[in-house]
């Protein structure tokens, strides 16, 4: 194979192999904390704080028991007088001289996260799609200025406006409400959604809608029947980005939610306070918290990739 025949030189198999090795190495290093969290969640509390750290250990689901329950300390006599333990968790906590008093707050907090993250993602994508379509297709007065203004809301870290938002929310009664958090995350995400989706919709030729409108559809019907189906990739990519932000958001959540509307991120650190340094329970909370986003991302990984490389690859 002469170099002259190929203007673009194929990378040699050696360099490919080196690149591959580096990528795998990087992936492994990145995954160490993740592995550590998952491993810790299956350790017993003594194992979790053992020094030197235990790589090999007998797995236990005590962390998960502790995550989902609240427990009270009792005397051994009291515990011995109880009827036999009904579940594995029962048995495990009794060994530590405790009984299960009831479910913990983790599940409701987790559900708050689901409602707020998915709710705000839906709102941001819904509004973003309509706005992006408008900017893409209509002659909007001052369109460029408006788009810049929308983008400019991303210029500062959202937490910079935490105090005013905190005061406003207290004033209008949105503090510690799911609605308040959905509104907040939607507001933060909608700018990203508008910009991403505008790019995707710009790529869909207008002629499809024009054809549909001549074929007897109104603009809204043409949008639904012709534009939306073709924008699904972009919508999915945008949805993942919005969801990841809303799901992981910590600062606003810890500031604005403390009770009924509290999401999982500010809740998980509080687990540690309930009965000593319960690292396995914290790790279990984190692991459970990771699952939905992991599933969602794996399901939509193709669209996510397209979203990341968006703009770099042009037809």
Partner 1 sequence: MADVSLRNVSKAFGDTQAIDDLNVTIKDGEFVVLLGPTGAGKTTTLRLIAGLERPDNGSILIGGRDVTKLEPAMRDVAFVFQQYSLYPHLTVYENLAFPLRSPSRNFTEDQIKARVAEIAKLVRIDHKLENKSTKLSGGEMQRVAIGRALVRKPSIYLMDEPLSSLDAKLRGDLRLELKRIQSELFSTLLYVTHDQIEAMTMADRIGILAEGRLVQIGTPREIYTQPANLHVAARLGQPAINILPAGLLPADAAPAGTKTIGARTEHLTIEKATNGHADGTVDWVEHLGDQNHLHVTVKDRKLVTLAEPDTAFAKGDTVTIRFNEPLYFDGAGNRIAG
Nearest approach, Cβ of residue 222 and partner 1 (Å)? 9
Which residue lies nearer to partner 1 by CB, 90 or 203? 203
Contact range with partner 1 by CB under 8 A, out of 49-57, 131-139, 200-208, 268-276: 200-208
- Per CB under 8 A, which of residues 31..60 are in contact with partner 1? none
Residues 6+ apart with CB under 8 A from 206: 137
Which 8-state DSSP code applies to residue 273?
A: G
Nearest approach, Cβ of residue 229 and partner 1 (Å)? 4
Q: Is 207 in the site for partner 1 (CB under 8 A)?
A: yes
| Both tokens assigned to 58 | 């007998």
Which residue lies nearer to partner 1 by CB, 229 or 276? 229
Q: Is 214 in the site for partner 1 (CB under 8 A)?
A: yes
Residues 6+ apart with CB under 8 A from 137: 201, 206, 209
- Which of 18, 130, 168, 211 binds partner 1 (CB under 8 A)? It is 211
| Both tokens assigned to 155 | 């210029």
Burial 63-86 (b: 16+ CB within 10 A, else e): bbbbbbbebeebeeeebeeeeebe
Which residue lies nearer to partner 1 by CB, 150 or 231? 231
Number of residues that bind partner 1 (CB under 8 A): 17
Which residue lies nearer to partner 1 by CB, 216 or 259? 216
Q: Is 208 in the site for partner 1 (CB under 8 A)?
A: yes
* CB-CB contact of 103 with 80 (8 Å): no
Residues 6+ apart with CB under 8 A from 93: 62, 65, 66, 69, 71, 99, 100
Which residue lies nearer to partner 1 by CB, 57 or 208? 208
Which residue lies nearer to partner 1 by CB, 96 or 306? 306
Which residue lies nearer to partner 1 by CB, 233 or 254? 233
* CB-CB contact of 204 with 235 (8 Å): no
Which residue lies nearer to partner 1 by CB, 69 or 303? 303
Site string for partner 1, 257-286 (x = CB under 8 A): ------------------------------
Please state the length of the chain. Answer: 315
Reference 180, options 188, 136, 41; nearest CA is 188
Nearest approach, Cβ of residue 212 and partner 1 (Å)? 7
Residues 6+ apart with CB under 8 A from 72: 98, 99, 101
| Both tokens assigned to 87 | 């579940």
Half-sphere exposure of 194 (CA within 13 A, CB side): 22
Reference 308, options 294, 297, 296; nearest CA is 297
| Both tokens assigned to 60 | 């236990």
- Per CB under 8 A, which of residues 117..136 are in contact with partner 1? none
Q: Is 215 in the site for partner 1 (CB under 8 A)?
A: yes
Q: Is 102 in the site for partner 1 (CB under 8 A)?
A: no
- Which of 97, 105, 221, 254 binds partner 1 (CB under 8 A)? It is 221
Nearest approach, Cβ of residue 203 and partner 1 (Å)? 12
Strands 98-103 and 69-73: antiparallel
- Per CB under 8 A, which of residues 223..252 are in contact with partner 1? 225-226, 229-230
Residues forming contacts to partner 1 in the complex (CB under 8 A) are 205, 207-208, 210-218, 221, 225-226, 229-230
């Amino acid at each position: 194979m002469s170099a002259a025949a190929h203007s673009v030189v194929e990378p040699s198999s050696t360099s490919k192999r080196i690149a591959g090795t580096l990528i795998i190495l990087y992936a492994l290093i990145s995954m160490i904390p993740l592995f550590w969290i998952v491993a810790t969640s299956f350790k017993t509390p003594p194992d979790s704080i053992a020094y030197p750290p235990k790589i090999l250990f007998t797995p236990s689901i005590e962390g998960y028991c502790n995550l989902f329950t609240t427990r009270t300390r009792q005397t051994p006599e009291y515990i011995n007088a109880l009827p036999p333990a009904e579940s594995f968790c029962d048995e495990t906590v009794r060994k530590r001289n405790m009984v299960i008093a009831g479910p913990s707050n983790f599940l409701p907090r987790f559900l708050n996260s689901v409602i707020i993250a998915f709710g705000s993602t839906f709102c941001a994508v819904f509004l973003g799609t309509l706005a992006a379509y408008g900017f893409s297709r209509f002659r909007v007065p001052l369109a460029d200025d408006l788009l810049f203004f929308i983008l400019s809301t991303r210029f500062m870290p959202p937490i910079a406006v935490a105090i005013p938002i905190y005061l406003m929310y207290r004033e209008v009664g949105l503090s510690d409400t799911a609605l308040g958090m959905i509104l907040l995350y939607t507001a933060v995400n909608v700018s990203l959604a508008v910009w991403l989706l505008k790019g995707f919709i710009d790529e869909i030729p207008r002629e499809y809608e024009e054809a549909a409108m001549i074929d007897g559809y109104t603009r809204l019907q043409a949008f639904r029947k012709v534009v939306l189906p073709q924008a699904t990739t972009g919508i999915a990519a945008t949805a993942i980005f919005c969801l990841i932000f809303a799901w992981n958001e910590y600062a606003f959540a810890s500031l604005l939610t403390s009770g009924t509307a509290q999401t999982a991120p500010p809740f998980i650190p509080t687990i540690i306070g309930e009965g000593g340094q319960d690292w396995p329970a914290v790790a279990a909370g984190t692991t459970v918290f990771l699952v939905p986003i992991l599933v969602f991302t794996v399901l939509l990984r193709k669209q996510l990739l397209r979203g990341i490389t968006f703009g770099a690859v042009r037809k």
